[in-house]
C-alpha cells in the first residue's frame, strides 16, 4: 500500500530534550515536506526537500532541523524543544516538487504526530 509512515503518533516530552519524528514513504517520491498545524491556522511549512541531500527552509523553520540522506526518509529533529513547538505535525510527499510542476495528484500525508512539550 502506498503510504507515508510517521512515528510516533503521540509524544509528550520535556523542554530541552532532543527528539526526532520519523517519516518514511514507499512511493519513490522526490518531494517531501514537514508541516505543523495549530488551532485556527492553516498548515504551515517547516522544511522541505526536493531530493536526496537537497533541503530548504519553509515558513517556520526556527527550532527544527531535517535531513534527507535517503529518498524514502525525511526525519524532523527538534534539538531543544520548547513549549511553543507543541503542535500537530504532518509529513507529506509528492511525485513532483511543488513549484517545479504542479503536484497533480496532490500530496500524500502521514498520519500526524501530536507533540506536547512541557
Q: Cell 503518533 sits at which residue?
A: 9
Among residues 38, 54, 59, 61, which one has the least CA distance to residue 100? Answer: 54
Shortest approach of other proteins to residue 33 CB, angstroms?
7
Shortest approach of other proteins to residue 22 CB, angstroms?
15
Shortest approach of other proteins to residue 98 CB, angstroms?
5
- Cα dihedral sign, 48-38-76-96: negative
Q: Which residues bind other proteins (CB under 8 A)?
A: 4, 31, 33, 35, 40-45, 48, 50, 56, 58-59, 90, 97-100, 102-112
Amino acid at each position: 500500500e502506498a503510504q507515508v509512515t510517521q512515528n510516533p503518533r503521540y509524544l509528550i516530552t520535556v523542554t530541552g530534550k532532543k527528539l526526532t519524528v520519523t517519516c518514511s514513504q514507499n512511493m519513490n517520491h522526490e518531494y517531501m515536506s514537514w508541516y505543523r498545524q495549530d488551532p485556527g491556522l492553516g498548515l504551515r511549512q517547516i522544511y522541505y526537500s526536493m531530493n536526496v541531500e537537497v533541503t530548504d527552509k519553509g515558513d517556520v523553520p526556527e527550532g527544527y532541523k531535517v535531513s534527507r540522506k535517503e529518498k524514502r526518509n525525511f526525519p524532523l529533529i527538534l534539538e531543544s524543544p520548547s513549549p511553543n513547538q507543541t503542535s500537530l505535525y504532518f509529513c507529506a510527499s509528492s511525485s513532483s516538487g511543488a513549484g517545479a510542476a504542479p503536484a497533480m495528484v496532490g500530496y500524500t500525508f502521514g498520519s500526524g504526530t501530536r507533540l506536547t512539550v512541557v
